[in-house]
Chain A
Amino acid sequence: MGQDKGTSQPSEPSVWRDPRFYQIASLSTLLLYGLLVLHFDISIWQIVITISTAQLMQYVGTRYFHLLFFDPKSALISSLSLCLLLRTNDCAVAALAAGIAIGSKFVIRWKDKHIFNPTNLALVVILASGLGWISPGQWGQVAWFGFLIACLGSLVVTRAARADVTLTFLTFYVGLLVARALWLGDPFTIPLHQIESGALLIFSFFMISDPKTTPDSRTGRIVFALIVALTALYIQFHFFKPNGPLWGLIACSPLAPLLDRLFPGVRYDWSNPATGYAPAAVPLSLSVQPQRRFS
């Protein structure tokens, strides 16, 4: 799906090629549908607090680390994902989650990349501390199919360069679930039912695909996706914990810098999506951009 030309083309830094616009649109639609039709257990206040805390943290980080400009998009995606997934009765917990998510981008870093996906880290911290929970069963079939189509559509529309990690993860994850069903002699309705979770889609299309926390090279990303899928299923079927992919990604995230070392590639730039192949000429484009990016 990704195109090599993305790296070599000077390309018009078209704002509309930024896949985050499509991500924001599909997440917002899903949240509205969740609120109005599925009656998600979330208050308007929690949504307001989550989004505003995330933006505030992004702004503070931008000023403190002297970034070129304030970019609200990534923080908005993180906060929308939190609204869709995190359930709590306490608005302070929602604020804490948004704070952890965005704060971690600026603080937990290795070689100019943040290590953990912000939403993933926040969710895991809140789950582990027992302050909140995720309702993996809250999605209806209609929402799931609609959202799946929106997610796949956005991959096509934006020709997302980093779709490889999403597709690889989904292929491994679904493939292994089907293999398990075959081994158990279960009907296919069971693995189909198991993947019918909006949380899995958010995870695959918005978390593991985060170009800032996945390996830079395609080989690295494919290996990474496989390891995450295996860990996720191990957690799900050995420890019988729900939300296996979330725990799997958090456990595997520290491997990304290691994979970058084994399979070097080009760092991602949101305005110029690329697959990460590293032809000789490319590092130049990096060197002219000394500014660190925290989006």
Chain B
Amino acid sequence: MNHIILSLFSVVMSLFLWGTNASAFCGFYVGKADTKLFNKASEVVIARHDNKTVITMANDFKGEVKEFAMVVPVPTVLDQDQIHIGDAAVLKHLADYSAPRLVEYFDENPCVRYELMERRSLDMAKNMAPASASARERDTALGVTVEAQYTIGEYDILILSAKESHGLETWLAENGYKIPHGASTVLHSYLKQDMKFFVAKVNLTEQSKLGFTHLRPIQIAFESPKFMLPIRLGTINADGAQELFIYTLTKQGRVETTNYRTVRLPEAQEVPLYVKDKFGDFYRDLFTQQVKREHERGVFLEYAWDMTWCDPCAANPLSADELKNLGVFWQERPNVKQRGGTMPQVQNVFLTRLHVRYDAAHFPEDVMFQETSDRNNFQARYILRHTWTGTDECPAATAYRQQLRERYEHEAQTLANLTGWNIGAIRHAMNLASSPEGTVRKWYQQLWAN
């Protein structure tokens, strides 16, 4: 029985969907960048108010489930009713709702010109808004105490405390857990900080009884002043950097990291139309480029929004029940009377989605957070602008056609700059050389043009 220790968790993924939801201000939604794009990605939802915290940890463990195990440092010993099995569908809904998105606009006939005003209003709108007796003796000899053990859903869960890390390491090894080399130092540090260890593995009998084929997310609820995520164990045996998506649900406002730089991703950039067919590649390369720019030390803000609405919507906002499922406990839930009956209305929930690519060299310390009073909305939104192809003739239409070439070039450069793609290849893909306007004339050619 060899369990591979996953320091935190691995991915929950979802299908890459293309939809077309019409929307008001922020363009017509055409697609989103899925968390599935990234390898070795994990997802965590933290719902927190005052010191009360609910953490949902999701897995997309691909190997044999009997080999799955998870060790998470936790600040307190957890009772059975502090542990819950979540719903992967809700987490997927949250990921879809907050995903980086692609929108499109269509240029108006320049002969009827109010486009400029509309663009300004768009920018404004963004802000508006089990152990036998002998085993027990062995535990004592190693200084390890099994504080509690439960079977919840398809998981066998242990809460361990220990006197010293070597004892804990030996205990884990003797009980069939594969401990990565170098874990001892990190375990030692957590023990000194009075942390306990939450260890989960799959109970195969329970799993077959329940009939689930996938591993459902595990949720823990506790009270602690620590607003943090332990990532250090995850960096020990990792080959290369790991991806982590952190969703926080808070009452007051946006959440940011206090010991790493939280960086907003570039947003509202106009990119060439052909990106529509490769938005996944575009977003993955954009993210990699931003990580490099921040010297691999940044935590990136992908979405920050009040849970009551979205514009454009990559998925509908989560219902009050779904939020409750993810640990939002502070909603008073006034029921809104509707024709079909009453429906609980979401209130006072602010979502922040952070994306981090981390390794031991650049992220030596666990990630610490703080909640700010910032309720400004932010979304990683990228824009396709379709040109007007009408045949009307007027001075404005001539001017419009003349500036198109410059606009295409600007879009090409934006794309190259955002993703690190080769500018020549981009121009080629855009058919820039063969565009109707021909090549751009130099200033002196324009000066002495005949």
Contact = CB atoms under 8 A, between A and B. Distances in A.
A239 B225 CA distance: 7
A137 B364 contact: no
B365 A193 contact: yes
Interface stretch (B169-177, B257-265, B278-286): B257-265
Contact of A87 (B192, B228, B372): B372
A88 to B, nearest CB: 8
Contacts of A193: 259, 364-365
Contacts of A190: 364-365
A184 B259 contact: no
B335 interface: no
A89 B370 CA distance: 17
Interface in B367-402: 368, 370, 372-376
Contacts of A240: 225-228, 368
Given A185-B189, A194-B365, 16 more contacts: A38-B261, A39-B263, A39-B264, A89-B374, A89-B376, A132-B373, A133-B373, A136-B259, A137-B261, A139-B261, A140-B261, A185-B185, A190-B364, A240-B228, A240-B368, A242-B368
A137 B262 contact: yes
Top 3 nearest A-B pairs by Cβ distance? A133-B372, A189-B364, A184-B189
10 contacts: A88-B373, A133-B374, A135-B256, A137-B260, A137-B261, A184-B188, A184-B192, A240-B227, A241-B225, A242-B258
Nearest to A241: B225
B contacts with A: majority SS: loop
Contacts of B256: 135, 137
Interface residues of B, number: 32
Interface string A118-136: 0000000000001111011
Nearest to A240: B225
A137 B257 CA distance: 6
A186 B189 CA distance: 6
Contacts of A185: 185, 188-189, 192
Contacts of A130: 252, 373
Interface in B338-371: 364-365, 368, 370
B120 interface: no
Contacts of A39: 263-264
Interface in B199-236: 225-228
B445 interface: no
